[in-house]
Each structure stands twice: as C-alpha cells, then as structure tokens.
Amino acid sequence: MQPCGQSGMAKQGAKYNPPDPTQIELTPEALDFWARTLETDAGKIRKAVQKVGPGLEKVKLELGLGGAG
C-alpha cells in the first residue's frame, strides 16, 4: 500500500513551475505542464511554439485556444 496523499491526486510533472508563465519552454517537463494546462497534445504545443514562438498567447491562438476577452 502507498502512504495516503503520496500518489492520489499528485501527478508526475506537477512539480514544474514555469519561470515565466507567459512563455512556453520546449523542455519535456514544460511541455507536459502546458499540455495539462491547455488540455491539448504536447506535440501540437511544440509545433505551435516552433511556428509562432514561445509566447503563450500566440501559441494559444495558433492552437485555436485563444479566446479574445
């Protein structure tokens, strides 16, 4: 049995905290974080960053996730 609270809700990669939350890094940890955060595939995020740059808003627009406010 695993100790209570050790693996329940915590997911692998949950420790990653983006140094600049407006920029997407292409490290495996960052892509995992952003894939969960944006609820999309890490490969799509990588391609979008390579196309439009690391800016979060540009990437979201490229992915069709940007909602104008």
Mean pLDDT for 6-16 is 53
CA 57 to chain centre: 13
For residues 48 and 62, the answer to whether their CB atoms sit within 8 Å is: yes
Within a domain: 12: no
Residue that has been written with the tokens 């974080």 in this structure: 33
Encode pLDDT of 26-47 as tens digits. Answer: 999 999 999 999 999 999 999 9
Residue 3 lies in a domain: no
Domain of residue 39: give its range: 18-69
Nearest to 47 by CA among 63, 61, 27, 32: 63
Domain membership of residue 47 (yes or no) is yes
Question: Which residue matches tokens 């969960």?
Answer: 36
Percentage of the chain lying above the pLDDT 70 cut: 75
Residue 23 is predicted with a pLDDT of 98
CA distance 53 to 69: 22
Residue 11 lies in a domain: no
Domains: count for the chain: 1
* Residue 35 forms part of a structural domain: yes
pTM for the model stands at: 0.75
Distance from chain centroid for Cα 34 = 0
Query: Is residue 1 predicted with pLDDT exceeding 90?
Result: no
